[in-house]
Structure 1
Amino acid sequence: MLSELKKIPGLIPSELKKFSRPITIGLICVFGFTFGFTFGFGSFLDLPKLWPGGIGIGKDKSVTTTVETIEKDKQGKAVKKVTITAHNDGKTLWDWGSLLGVPLSLVILGYVLQQQQQKRAEKLSEEQRKIADNETKEEVLQNYFDRLSVLLIDKNLIALSNKSNLPKITSIALSNKSQLSTITPEEQELLDSSLDVIRARTLSILRRFENDAKRKASVINFLIETEIVGKSKLNLSQANLQGADLLAANLQGANLQRANLQRAVLYHTKLQGANLQRAELQWAELQWAELQGANLQGAKLQGAELQGANLQGAELQGAKLQGANLQRANLQRANLRVANLQRANLQRANLQMTELQMTELQMTELQEANLEKANLQRANLEKANLQGAKLKGANLERADLKDIKWNSKTGTGVV
């Protein structure tokens, strides 16, 4: 019955539960009716009853009782009266078990079927919820695209952004300045207010898509393609981009201060000059990412994958890079003062002229790393592996070199 009810269009599991309770009650009534009929109506229909002698497991026995009495009739004569009573001995537990087996089986079977139906209903409910949630999110995303598109076209934001950026245009472009006009205060105010609206809507929709990495990526890619990030310099600080797939995205110069980029896919992503101060990049995938001149001061990069990443001239002062993978990364002239690189992997990394004063480098893998002219004053290199590292011109004044690993290939010429 429940399987048929589930086929009714529009019937949801919460409504289906209204039918399951009466079915259970009905099965209990069947059991009760059978039991009551046997004990109650059985006395009128001369059915076997559970006499005291019927306890145990065994076969039924016919019992005949003969009672002889001597009574006097009306004349006072003695008359012999014989009363014979015949009955069957009571049903045994075995018999009652057989008798009650059918309704009991029906109750158990009904309960099992009900549980199965309930599980199916819950599964169907979950599937319907996911479908509804997916449709709602898709509708929200499309609405976001539509509203921003209207705003871009109606307010002509990209043109205003070009005007706003005019002082930053190269000298070659300035030669054609006659074709361009500087932005007016009214236009600048319109641009700023429009970008504030876009920022508010963007942060809101990213929060709504908290566990939806795919749609987060769609939002950011839309902003990139419409040049809101590039030309309009949209502020994305504190944005929730956890787990977002931004493979090879162009986020040059983007403001991502304190943004949540944990476990984000940033493989080959262009982040030159981006502001990532105090950003959360734990376990992010930044292999071969372009981070030249990026600001990563105080950023959290524990466990991040940075193999082959270009961090030339990047600001990493106070950054947390414990356990990060920086194999073959280019950190030339980067600022890593007071950064924490404990147990990080810097094999074959380029650290030429890098600032590493007071940096934590305990148990760091620096095999064959290029540390020529690097500043390692007061750096903690305890138990670091420097086998084959190039240290020509490096400054190791007052550095902690306790229990370091080195070999004959470890560079000489240390200051």
Structure 2
Amino acid sequence: MKEPADPTKQFLRKTVPSLKKAIFQLIIAGIFVGIGILVIAPPDWEWFGLKSKTEPQPSPTTIKLVGGRKTLWDWMGLVLVPLTGVWLGIKLKTLQEQAEAERGQIEKEKGEKAEQLAKEQALEAKARAEERAENEQREGALAAYLGSMSDLLVGQRLSALAKKQAKSVLTEEEQFLLNAGMDVIRARTLSILRRLTDREDPKLTDGARKASVLLFLYESELIQRKELATTEDQQTSLTETSLLKLKGADLTDTQLSNTNLSRADLSGADLSRANLSRANLSHARLSRANLGHVDLSHANLSDAKLSGAHLNHAHLSGADLSGADLSGAHLSHGDLRSADLINAQLTDAHLLGADLSHAHLSGAHLNDAHLNDAHLTSADLSDADLTSAHLSRTDLSGARLSGAHLNRADLSGARLSGAHLSSADFSAADLSRADLSRVDLSRAHLNSADLSHADLSHADLSRADLSGAYLSDTNLSGAHLRDANLSRAILFALDLSRTEELTQQQLKREEREDSPLLCNVDLPAGISVNRNRDCDRLPEVLHNRYPERFKTVEEAKDFVKQRRNRWN
């Protein structure tokens, strides 16, 4: 703490400038008073005492009276000097009183600060003492737990029974003893984990000692998945399972970075906010586990079982999830940047708003997955299965989707500019209002796809299958349509005048049923086809193909009429 300055020095520093200022003000005031007198009355230099007087010399017999006329200097000596002294004394006393008050205030504040500091130091000392006591209690509880576990495993022969079960079937008595021992171990494990957890303040949770408990169980082969001999219907078989189940175990905030938990069974455990960065969890079982806000960055989760797990807001950037089972998992708003999800199972997974930019998802199963508002920029989804996936408003710009299966997928409003979509399957997909500008859709399957209001400007649609597709208000300026299949496609309120390589043969088939339906279509120069050839048939076709959107033919007629009026 900074010590206050010496009071005497502080008083002088404040008083001397104030006195100088007061004297200066007094001199200025005197000057102005003098000037005022000179202006108001004619100067009497004799009265000012500035003119010499020549008085007649008195005769030897003349008696001179004491007194006479007083000059300005006389009056200043009689009145002004005493008044100035009085004023300066009052001013000096006032400044001294102010300095005393300030000195008292400084002393008071100094005392209060010292008192506050003492209280804070006392509280800190008390907190440290309580922390030491709590730490000692937790250390004692952990030591007692490990001691009891060693006694159960060695003294009660549970470890030997567990090893025996890996080779042959236990007797009924041995199986009963092993099951009873596992029940005791589970109860004591759950108890010690609760003892090391602070629910009110997660920062006070003892994540290091909780990790010690878990690693002890792992190294004792109690939570490792392995083949155990079991008997069912008098038939002996080997079943891959763990001896100890940790469903419901409180492993929140556990510090497990860089640990080896390969093949561990943590199904149903609560691992929220745990640090598992760079941990080895390959082939681990984490089904229905709570992994919200967990740090799994660069962790090895290859072939892990994570079905139904809660991974919302989890950090999985750079993680290896190749071959992992994430079906039905909740990964909303998770960070999966550059994660390896090759051949991963993500059926019906929830990835709303998740960041999968630059992720490797080739061959992944994402059918019925929820990817609305997700970020998949520059992600590799080649040959991935996205059948019936929900991808509305998803950012897929620059993504590689060559050979991907997106049939019946919802891609409405999705951003696909710069994506690689050659040979991708978009049959019956909803691509309305999607951004497909400048993309490679050569040989892509777009049959029965909804491309209304989509942006396909400068896209390569050569040899693409657009049979039965719905193109209304679609931007096709600069699009390449060489050898594109437009049979039975609906071309309504559409400008084709600026497309490239569109031929009359593509718009006029030998069989009328195979020809595309044209209504309010602007055609390129050189193509002599009626631009309103199928306006009369269009309402019935819309009702038959999209009964949910157009419930009756009359409703479809009203839609066509209104749209034609706006187009015209």
TM-score normalised by the shorter chain: which range applies? 0.5 to 0.7
- Aligned partner of 2:158 in structure 1 is 160
**Normalising to structure 1: TM-score of the pair?**
0.65
- Aligned partner of 2:129 in structure 1 is 132
Larger RCO of the pair (alpha carbons < 8 Å, separation 6+) = 1
Q: Is 1:108 the counterpart of 2:119 in the alignment?
A: no
Q: Is 1:405 the counterpart of 2:425 in the alignment?
A: no
Q: Is 1:210 the counterpart of 2:202 in the alignment?
A: yes
Deviations 1:303-353 (A, max 9, x none): 523323225231341513325224142241413315124252242413414
* Structure 1: distance between partners of 2:216 and 2:152: 18
* Structure 1: distance between partners of 2:331 and 2:407: 22
Offset of residue 187 of structure 1: 4.3
Q: Is 1:267 the counterpart of 2:271 in the alignment?
A: no
Offset of residue 196 of structure 1: 0.7
Query: Share of identical aligned residues, percent?
Result: 5
Letter in 1 for 2:202: E
- Aligned partner of 2:187 in structure 1 is 196
Show the 5 A alignment for 1:14-413.
59-60=85-86, 94=91, 96-97=93-94, 100=97, 104-156=101-153, 159-161=157-159, 163-164=161-162, 166-167=164-165, 169=166, 173-174=167-168, 183-207=174-198, 210-212=202-204, 215-226=206-217, 227=219, 230=223, 233=244, 235=246, 237-242=248-253, 244-251=254-261, 252-255=263-266, 257=268, 259-262=270-273, 264-270=275-281, 272-277=283-288, 279-282=290-293, 284-302=295-313, 304-392=315-403, 394-407=405-418, 409-413=420-424
Q: SS in structure 2 opposite 1:304?
A: coil
* Structure 1: distance between partners of 2:372 and 2:391: 5
Choose 1 or 2 for highest CA Rg: 2
Offset of residue 131 of structure 1: 2.2
**Normalising to structure 2: TM-score of the pair?**
0.49
Matched residues, number: 322
- Aligned partner of 1:72 in structure 2 is none
Q: SS in structure 2 opposite 1:387?
A: coil
Cα–Cα, structure 1 residues 343 and 138, in superposed 2: closer, same or farther, change >3 Å?
Answer: closer
- Aligned partner of 2:520 in structure 1 is none
* Structure 2: distance between partners of 1:405 and 1:98: 79
Letter in 2 for 1:255: L
* Structure 2: distance between partners of 1:355 and 1:347: 16
- Contact kept, 8 Å, 1:265 with 1:286, in 2: the verdict is yes
Where does structure 1 differ by over 4 angstroms across 4 or more consecutive aligned residues? 98-103, 164-167
Letter in 2 for 1:210: P
* Structure 2: distance between partners of 1:353 and 1:142: 46
CA RMSD of aligned residues (A): 3.7
Q: 5+ unaligned residues in a row in structure 2: which ranges?
A: 4-82, 225-242, 428-568
Q: 5+ unaligned residues in a row in structure 1: which ranges?
A: 4-56, 62-90
Q: SS in structure 2 opposite 1:221?
A: helix
Letter in 2 for 1:297: G
